Structure 1
């Protein structure tokens, strides 16, 4: 590691988190975390940051994985909802148990394109670019799966809000129609 790297003891994924990459440090695996305008290093593995961030936002990683399975049927390399209220959705580039697995935030991707050696260049909305060691097809599949998870969960939340609004206003609608009938 270079002299300028900022090591932090605790880190929760937030709306500015773009990518979490594994970083070999001796025999340990740390995480290199890029945010929109910052880069930090954590002494924890990427999967540990994903798990602690799920807990921070009120669920376990296992619960989030099960939620993904229920909503989409995905069981392998499943995308994860870190925080649905802030639209924070991450996907793994490999099996989460793979020490080379990176985690990428769906909403920060501007575009991605094929790179040399069956890799993919990901360009984020802040113009920062990374070469990811997975094929374009694999990355595209993960982006589509994460987009499906986000769309499905967002629709469920909106439907639920619409139903609760309907039920909350339902008695007012009935009372108004009853009064209208009394005056005719």
Structure 2
């Protein structure tokens, strides 16, 4: 039995959002250990994930375009601290557009099959799952490369508060630029 849900939150287990041609749901969500069927489109889920991170899809897309010069099929950093980046396989508003989460991709290969002539490539995820794709190897590989460029170029947890906490520097030091003996040093005098 298919589990159909109204809402879904993109998380570190999300591997792909596939558009569905079904009257009861709009997206097939592939996670590491399950599949869900959601009554929202892949783009709606991406937009909601951006809002959950206190930004808009349009704003983050514009920022990526500004920093990279790319105008079409722009990868979206959904949560930079957790390295959750997704790339579209088509124009985001195209009815066939799937979103692939790069942190789960192990490899992309060409695939030619007599049984399935529309399948041009296959994505192998790190958990061993395979996803046949109608998009060409070249397109998927280019999108993966662009997404990896974003990962390298944009600030991540290595420059944010989480990195400093992991390095033994507390939030007070980070925000005030010095070490404090205790909380009493923060009191107004």
TM-score range, shorter chain: 0.7 to 0.9
Residue 52 (structure 2) aligns with:
56
Structure 2 residues not aligned, in runs of 5+: 164-172, 180-189
Over aligned residue pairs, what C-alpha RMSD do you find?
2.5
Q: Does 1:18 align with 2:27?
A: no
Correspondence 1:144-159 to 2 at 5 A: 144-154=145-155, 158=158
Q: Structure 1 residue 132: deviation in Å?
A: 1.0
- CA deviations 1:65-89 (Å, max 9, x no partner) are 0121122121200000111111100
Are the counterparts in 1 of residues 87 and 102 from structure 2 also a CA contact under 8 Å? yes
Instruction: Summarize the alignment of residues 23-102 of structure 1 with structure 2, pairs less than 5 Å apart.
Output: 23-26=20-23, 30-102=26-98
The match for 2:5 is: 8
| Correspondent of 2:177 among 151, 168, 176 | 168
- The 4+ residue runs of structure 1 with deviation greater than 3 A are 157-162
Structure 1 unaligned segments of length 5 or more: list them: 171-184
Which structure's residues are more often helix, by fraction?
1
The structure richer in strand per residue is 1
TM-score (norm 2): 0.79
| Length, aligned pairs only | 166
Cα gap change, 1:69/1:91 in structure 2, threshold over 3 Å: closer, same or farther?
same
Task: Say whether the 8 Å CA contact 2:25–2:38 is kept in structure 1.
Answer: no
In 1: Cα distance, 2:124 partner to 2:15 partner: 11
